[in-house]
Copies of this chain bind each other. A is one copy, B any other.
């Protein structure tokens, strides 16, 4: 038996793939298809109520591409699955040697815009598909959701509290990272705090209170250990009785020259209770004691609390944000857009399956802005077209090596804040936001028209 996590090593991630990537590659190999191809990673459509994406996950993608190898154990396993010797020999020496262009992490993006563009011998470009999709899906989905929660909080702090119900270990880590990119102040996840240098926050659980004979004993014990940074959970038995006891502790701390940090509410009518607790604390001269709220929060509930003028200083947001509960996936895809033949000629490629049409050729995305730098429109063009605006896709990897220093998490967070500030307010409405304009260049439109005609002629009407 392997350990509970021992197989989740960086060395093993080359097998973290759908089998069909390997069967296709075996056939490419067998049929001597080694020419370069280009794949676009993009998200087909917006989930309900979302009006933009906040792109995240590129760092992990690039580090994976640099490190991707097949181990002896992999080769042996694939041999048992029926893959043949020459292809296994090829995998033994596999290294990713391609070029990658991508939009920076923290960029606001829209459906069908290429987020990552991979150009590599087709076997290599195909083999990396699953890892790239898995990574971008999780982080972009969560960063997008978290940016909505942060926005709803109108400048009050949001702390990511979802670790216990985030789906697995990697999600726990990457959710903390993505939420911080999106503007959350910190996380409850200590390992993420250590790994990514994100501030960590924590108070106490009901179990702590219940493990003492009386609630006030629990409060006193906690305040003894953390005399200047205790946040007391006051709703284990009855929130107003709990608030009274917290005030007693605050006064005891004052006598020692210390200050109670805050109280936490985790159930009931948070708007109503927070007002009553605020009044109780203020009446006792405890205006400095903060009120922290948690319990089933998301961007809609926070909006409601703010609208009701709840007296809450910071929000702990868990499951709903950490799982993107209302839509726990994106329609992220990775599609072939161009092949090259032995003579170096490029062929743009597109797919016509019902409802799943893709954009052909290597492309670029230009962002148009007004005089204040606010975003007005995006234009998807062919890669070599000249256009106005800022090109979003930049070269980040060449010949399998990272060419651009990876930004620190704090820089990515700043990019996200800057991007979100330049996206006009109307596109940030939490419900019923209008569609941000993304247009195709004339050259791209012409190419699509031409290819549709060609495909109908060669693949649909003929029987060849």
The chain A residues found within 8 Å of chain B, CB to CB, are 1-10, 12-13, 15-24, 26-28, 30-31, 33, 37, 39, 59-60, 63-64, 67, 73-74, 77-78, 81-82, 122, 126, 129-130, 133-135, 137-138, 141, 161, 163-174, 188-191, 193-195, 200-208, 210-211, 213-216, 221-222, 224-226, 229, 235-238, 241, 244-245, 266-268, 319, 323-325, 327-330, 332, 334-336, 339, 347, 349-356, 406, 455, 458-461, 463-464
From A351, which residue of chain B is reached at the shortest CB distance? Answer: B206
Residue of B nearest to A137 (CB): B165
CA distance A182 to B191 in the complex (A): 31
Q: Establish whether residues B4 and A222, one from each chain, have CB atoms under 8 Å apart when the complex forms.
A: no
Known A-B contacts A23-B226, A210-B351, A460-B241; the reply to A168 vs B163 at CB < 8 A is no
Contacts A30-B221, A211-B122, A235-B353 given; indicate if A190 touches B463 (C-beta within 8 A). Answer: no
Chain B: which residue is nearest A208 at the CB level? B24
A-B contact pairs, 5 of them (CB 8 A): A7-B173, A8-B169, A19-B202, A30-B224, A206-B351
Q: Which of B138, B215, B324, B351 contacts A459 (CB 8 A)?
A: B215
Contact B171 A20 (CB under 8 A): no
Task: Say yes or no: B207 contacts A19, CB within 8 Å.
Answer: no
A33 with B211: CB separation less than 8 A: yes
Chain B neighbourhood of A236, CB < 8 A = 351-353, 459
A3–B63 touching, CB < 8 Å? yes
- Per a CB cutoff under 8 Å, which of B167, B173, B189 touches A328? B167
Instruction: Please give me the residue from chain B that is nearest to A31 by CB atom.
Output: B221
Which residues of B have CB within 8 Å of A135?
Answer: 168
**A174 to B163 Cα, complex, angstroms:** 16
Contacts A19-B188, A189-B16, A353-B266 hold; do A207 and B335 have CB atoms under 8 A apart? yes
Asked if A336 and B168 make an inter-chain contact with CB atoms under 8 angstroms apart, the answer reads: no
| Chain B residues in 8 Å Cβ range of A17 | 163, 189-191
Please state if B323 and A167 are interface contacts (CB–CB under 8 Å): yes
Assuming the A-B contacts A18-B161, A211-B37, A225-B30, are A166 and B203 also in contact, with contact meaning beta carbons closer than 8 angstroms in the complex?
A: no
Question: Would you give the shortest CB distance from A168 to chain B, in whole angstroms?
Answer: 3
B30 touches A191 (CB 8 A): no
A129 to B164, CA, bound (A): 8
| In the complex, residue of chain B having the shortest beta-carbon distance to the beta carbon of A215 | B459
Decide yes or no: A191 and B15 within 8 Å by CB, A37-B211, A164-B137, A214-B458 being known contacts.
Answer: yes
Given contacts A16-B169, A73-B194, 9 further A-B contacts (CB under 8 A): A6-B10, A7-B191, A20-B203, A23-B226, A77-B190, A167-B171, A206-B353, A211-B339, A216-B464
CB distance from A405 to the nearest CB of B (A): 10
Q: What's the Cα separation between A5 and B10 when bound, in Å?
A: 6
How far, in whole Å, are A325 and B171 apart by their CA atoms in the complex?
A: 15
**How far, in angstroms, from A366 to B330 measured CA to CA in the complex?**
42
State in angstroms the CA–CA spacing of A207 and B123 once bound together: 11
What residues of chain B lie closer than 8 Å to A206, measured between beta carbons? Answer: 335-336, 351, 353, 356
Counting chain B CB atoms within 10 Å of each CB, the highest count among A59, A174, A190, A267 belongs to A190
Closest 4 CB pairs between A and B?
A19-B202, A168-B170, A20-B202, A328-B328
* Most chain B C-beta atoms within 10 Å of own C-beta, residue among A224, A267, A347, A354: A354
- In the complex, what's the smallest C-beta–C-beta distance from A317 to chain B, in angstroms? 13
**A163 contacts B188, C-beta separation under 8 Å:** no
By the criterion CB–CB under 8 Å, are B188 and A18 in contact? yes
Q: Which residues from B are CB-within-8-Å of A9?
A: 5
A82: which B residues are within 8 A, CB to CB? 229
Task: Report B-chain residues with C-beta under 8 Å of the C-beta of A18.
Answer: 161, 163-164, 188-190, 202
In the complex, A171 Cα to B172 Cα: how many Å? Answer: 10
Interface hub of A77, A211, A244 (most chain B Cβ within 10 A) = A211
Once bound together, how far apart are the Cα atoms of A327 and B210, in whole Å? 31
Q: Chain B's nearest CB lies how many Å from the CB of A412?
A: 13
Closest to A61 in B: B4
Q: How far is the CB of A54 from chain B (nearest CB, A)?
A: 16
Determine the residue in chain B with the shortest Cβ distance to A266.
B353
CA distance A212 to B17 in the complex (A): 23
**Which residues of B have CB within 8 Å of A16?**
163, 169, 172-173, 189-191
